[in-house]
Amino acid sequence: MATVARCSAAALTCGASLALLACSSAGSPDLAGAIVAAGSGGVPAVSGGSSSGGEVSQAAVLAGSGGSSSQGGAGIISQGGNSNISQGGAGPQTDGGGQAGSVGVEHLRDHCVDGYDPELSDSSPTMKDGPVEFTKSGQVDLIVQPEALEWMKKGVWEQAHFQWHNIRRCAGGLMGATDDPAGGGINPCLTHPELVPVNQEGKGPGDGLEFLAMHRHMIESMKQLWPKHAQQFEGWQHFPMKASDVPPQWQAAWSAWPANIAEAAAKADDPASHMKEPGFESEGAFGQWIQTTTGLHGALHFKWVRSNNSEHGLGNQFTNIDNYMFWKMHGWIDNVWDRYRAAQGKTPRDQDIRDAVLAQCRQMDQLAVIVKPELGGETCTTPAPKQSGVFAETIRPIFESETNKCTGCHGPKGPSANLTLGGGDCVKSSDIVAALVNKASTKGGQFKLVEPGNPDKSWLYLKVTGKAAGVGCVQTGSVECLTDTMPYGIGITLTQAEQDALRKWIQDGAVAPQ
Ligand SMILES: [Cu+2]
């Protein structure tokens, strides 16, 4: 569990820096009404460019999960009023915007801590419950409502979710990491090694717990955004064992589970009776047991795959969160996790789990910003006061220069290594310095980020001058050594004069700006 604790601590640091940002909904596109042009049926134009045809219609009847959708009305998913996508509107790190009456009102909100406000569409009469039928190649698949789909696409949740799994495959594993364009076309294994978890997929209870916590974060978020339509994201209470447990569209394809899956599922449904068995040693072990050891997770994904309609399919790793059954099956995993905790006398709201979920929220946000940098863009409306002094006038511009681009990754939102070096008017220079001076590095062993008077022991200086590998960095506590030169994968970009300026500022005491 050491890794999880470390992860949480790092996440809280990041949270502190995020909380400094004043987010305003003024710049956010109004999601209400932007999403669905409801009306006659037809071929959807799904935003995000992933659709290549296929028909979307509201599913008529639900089964196995309660509730019923309204009839008929097919919807056309469109880009609608989301004209200002570069503002990042509903991105994972803003609060989604669009609250009535709050336009222009500044507020601080950290969705990983405070949760999301409901979307306006939650109260809209056009928003429906239950699944939407997506038909292609004569095969019907079930997806979430267009309002939810649109929100996820704007925040690049499909890619962020994929990347969350991807960085757990950097060292190989079932699938192997990829920079497939469908997943955002990035490979954080190479570009953001600081995000690569020690716990690789299936390699232990640490990964098992992160797996549970990450999907809980996603489920909780969707329920916060659409509390009146939360049923859509509600998991099965019990593992579906017969055709009538699943929506009608899937009943004809029903077949019995393999014996080993049925047996494991029955155990998972009743963890209290199996607490002494292998796989039940800890929550993380339980998560791993569900995700990999027993094959339960994979069997659930595979069960609702259509052979010629993978566009939003449960077998499509890039888009599977679009699928209605994704939320049913992951919701079931989430439910049995709570049952496991209850068997230990714990509750879903205990601090350890809140921390674990928070850490995964942060990580998914960071990945989303890497996929779509605009999401990390400027959203504050109150610029920080202008400051003077060597740091503000000479050093910070080095980090923000078009050549060095340090703040492209170490910006105000979701910064790499939780380190913000500037990046826009809303970042206060003295805050940057405060987060550097005498502060421990996250991947620099025994070194501080900046040790006043001592540039040769200042990790920031060592990293940008290519000297980090030669100074005897040793893992200190949980702080490993990542000695690559920054910018990562490029090598030294600071000119000699810039390096000298940074050196002198540190030598002179790393004085904070006024
Ligand atoms: Cu997943």
Query: What are the pLDDT digits (tens) for 402-428?
Result: 788 888 778 776 677 778 898 877 889
Q: How far is the CA of 326 from the centre of ligand 1 (A)?
A: 9
Instruction: Tell me phi and psi for residue 127, to 5 degrees.
Output: -75, 135
Q: How many CA atoms lie within 13 Å of 86's alpha carbon, on the beta-carbon side?
A: 0
The band of 341, judged by pLDDT with boundaries at 50, 70 and 90, is very high
State the pLDDT at residue 403. Answer: 84
- Name which of 155-159, 337-341, 440-444 the model is least confident about: 440-444
CA of 268 to the centre of ligand 1 (A): 18
- B/e letters for 255-287, b = 16+ CB within 10 Å, e = fewer, are eebeeebeebbebbbebeebeeeebbeebbbbb
206 C-alpha vs ligand 1 centroid, how far in Å?
16
Tell me how far the alpha carbon of residue 105 lies from the centroid of ligand 1, in angstroms.
35
Residue 501 CB coordination number (10 Å): 17
Centre of ligand 1 to C-alpha 440, Å, is 33
> How many residues belong to the chain?
514
The predicted pLDDT at position 173 comes to: 67
What's the pLDDT score for residue 381? 63
- Ligand 1 geometric centre to CA of 176 (Å): 15
Residue 163 alpha carbon to ligand 1 centre in Å: 10
Distance 200 CA to ligand 1 centre (A): 14
Does the pLDDT of residue 7 top 70, yes or no? no
Has this prediction a pTM greater than 0.95? no
What does the pLDDT read at residue 72? Answer: 31
Q: What percent of the chain has pLDDT over 90?
A: 60
**Ligand 1 center from residue 201 Cα (angstroms):** 11
Summarize the confidence of residues 348-373 as an average pLDDT. 92
Spacing, Cα 433 to ligand 1 middle (Å): 38
Give the residue from 119, 123, 126 showing the smallest Cα distance to 39: 126
Rg (CA), the chain: 24
Separation in Å, CA 399 to CA 273, 382, 402, 403, 495: 57, 22, 9, 9, 12
Distance 41 CA to ligand 1 centre (A): 31
Give yes or no for residue 67 having a pLDDT over 50. no
Residue 297 C-alpha to ligand 1 middle, in angstroms?
9
Ligand 1 centroid from CA 178, angstroms:
16
Give the pLDDT confidence score for residue 494 in this predicted structure: 95
